[in-house]
Amino acid sequence: MTEIPQITDSHCHLDFPDFDGQHAEIIARAAEAGVIRMVTICTKLKNEPKVRSIAEAHAPVFYAAGTHPMSAATEPLATVDQLVEIAQHPKMVGIGETGLDYHYTSESSEVQKTSLRIHIEAARATALPLIIHARAADDDMARILTEEYRAGAFTCVMHCFSSSAELGKAALDLGFYLSMSGITAFPRSSELRDIFAAAPLDRILLETDAPYLAPPPHRGKRNEPAYTAHTARCAAETFGVDYAQFAMQTQANFDRLFTKAANYEAAA
């Protein structure tokens, strides 16, 4: 029997109501598909206890915490000290998601920028990777990330990357990572696949953003971590490598960026 290549879902939302009472089954299906780890993302700090409890209850699950840009104006601003304190948990492995979203919430652009800079400072202080959501804000995002990196280095992944080639290049030039979601497997996403194909393979991560953005053949349905495998198989074709090689490379990439998760497993 051929062993299924192992991969990681670097970004999902297991605390969302879509998954209530189903975590054990979802994680089991993920394992059957070769998805051996997942990072569940807290988007509002008031929900951090629930997100943390899911990670504590399930060995393959790690978590990250921050304030989503679309909530920056309606939730209390996070503080650096608050994020640093949360980051003391052994399974808390990233800062965010944070970022800029001008598609739905352009009216809160200024508070989004403030929130983003707070999260960047926390990423520096904790040496944990920043997890960025960027939508319809490419120029501001590239400018702020570049300014802040010059002021003090930090690591970063552009989660669910579906922005312009220019923002992708700006992120890669800073040493950051781009994450491939189910969008990259959509038939009409050829331009996005071209952006990824031009990127270094050692700077690529995989994710679902579950429960959103399910790849074919599940498009339009609830997404879940097991479906990372569908995105990964399409992605391997994009890069012109076999699936096992692609899986191995993205695992190495995840371990290099999310060092706390990699070290946790090594110590377990």
118-156 pLDDT tens trace = 999 999 999 999 999 999 999 999 999 999 999 999 999
Average pLDDT value for residue range 45-72: 98
Task: Evaluate if residue 182 carries a pLDDT over 80.
Answer: yes
Tell me, what's the pLDDT at 266? 72
86-128 pLDDT tens trace = 999 999 999 999 999 999 999 999 999 999 999 999 999 999 9
Tell me the pLDDT of the chain averaged across its residues: 97
Per-residue tokens: 64: 């990250």
Packing angle, helices 243-257 and 259-267, rounded to 10: 100
Tell me, what's the pLDDT at 136? 97
Give the Cβ contact number of residue 247 at 10 Å.
23
- The residue whose two tokens read 């497997």 is 185
- Read off the pTM: 0.97
Task: Evaluate if residue 75 carries a pLDDT over 80.
Answer: yes
Q: Which residues 6+ apart lie within 8 Å of 147 measured at CB? A: none
220-229 pLDDT tens trace = 999 999 999 9
Is residue 45 a contact partner of residue 79, using CB atoms and an 8 Å limit?
no
Domains of the chain (ranges plus CATH)? 7-263 (3.20.20.140)
Q: Is the dihedral of CA 44, 46, 49, 50 positive or negative?
A: negative
40-55 pLDDT tens trace = 999 999 999 999 999 9
Q: Quick one: which of 126, 163, 124 has its CA closest to 141? A: 163
